[in-house]
Amino acid sequence: MDNINGLRSRLQLLLNQRRFAHSLRVEQQSIDLACKHGVDQHRASLAGLLHDVARNLNAEQLITAARQARLPLCEEDIKTPLLLHAPVGAIILKNDWDIDDQEILEAVSQHTVAAANMSNLSKVIYLADMIEPGRDHWSGLEQLREMSDKDLNAAMLLALENVFDYLRKKNRHIHPNSYAAYEYFKRLQSSAN
């Protein structure tokens, strides 16, 4: 069992106060969702706490780290390098934090743009990041919170629809992995209904 307090202290040295506080809230929110949906709570705690481990890196550092790790980069990653803090975070956790649990690494890696075939742990982290209690209010937030408690797949679809609306309004591109995730969750929903 990892020493979670040790990991918290190490993370605190790395992130500014606001981001560290967000990480602690995402950890709690992830444990809460994990509990409700039968997901391993220890993994949810670790992945939630550490999901933003690379959030302090700037665009240039993120692109350099991604290239060094030979991550496949698409146009959207280059246009919005901030998205890379998720996959680069997973690499940092693996290489520097001795975290070798594949499911935790994947959940961290997928928390910005999502993916098709996400594990329940990945869905928990993605949603916890969006709904943690410190998030600024937006019109669909309460509905997303309620849906996250009830049904992870339906909540993922709702979350992605909201993200797409937001990006379209801002005239920003949608990452291909997010499209793939959207199609995946939409298919799941239509076969469930």
Size of the site for Fe ion (CB under 5 A): 2
Q: Is 27 in the site for Fe ion (CB under 5 A)?
A: no
CB of 142 to Fe ion, least distance (A): 19
Which residue, 27 or 52, has its beta carbon nearer to Fe ion?
A: 52
Give residues 128-147 in contact with Fe ion (rule: CB under 5 A). Answer: 129
* Least distance between Fe ion and beta carbon 84 (Å): 10
Q: Cβ distance 154 to 142 under 8 Å?
A: no
Nearer to Fe ion by Cβ, of 113 and 157: the residue is 113
52 touching Fe ion, by CB under 5 A:
yes
Cβ–Cβ under 8 Å, residues 114 and 126:
yes
Q: How far is the CB of 65 from Fe ion (least distance, A)?
A: 15
Please state the separation of Cα 117 from the chain's center in Å. 14
| Tokens 């939409």 belong to residue | 186
Smaller CB separation from Fe ion, 52 or 77: 52
CA angle 22, 180, 133 (to 5 degrees): 20
Q: For residues 167 and 188, which CB has a smaller minimum distance to Fe ion in the complex?
A: 167
Burial state string for 41-69 with b = 16 or more CB within 10 A and e = fewer than 16: bebbbbbbbbbbbbbebeeeebbebbeee
CB of 167 to Fe ion, least distance (A): 16
Measured from the CB atom, the residue of 4 and 82 that comes closer to Fe ion is 82
Considering only residues 93 to 132 of the shown chain, the ones binding Fe ion according to CB under 5 A are 129
Amino acid at the residue 33: L
State both tokens at 21. Answer: 């506080």
CA distance 42 to 27: 10
Minimum distance, C-beta of residue 20 to Fe ion, in the bound complex (Å): 11
Residues at the site binding Fe ion, with contacts judged by CB under 5 A: 52, 129
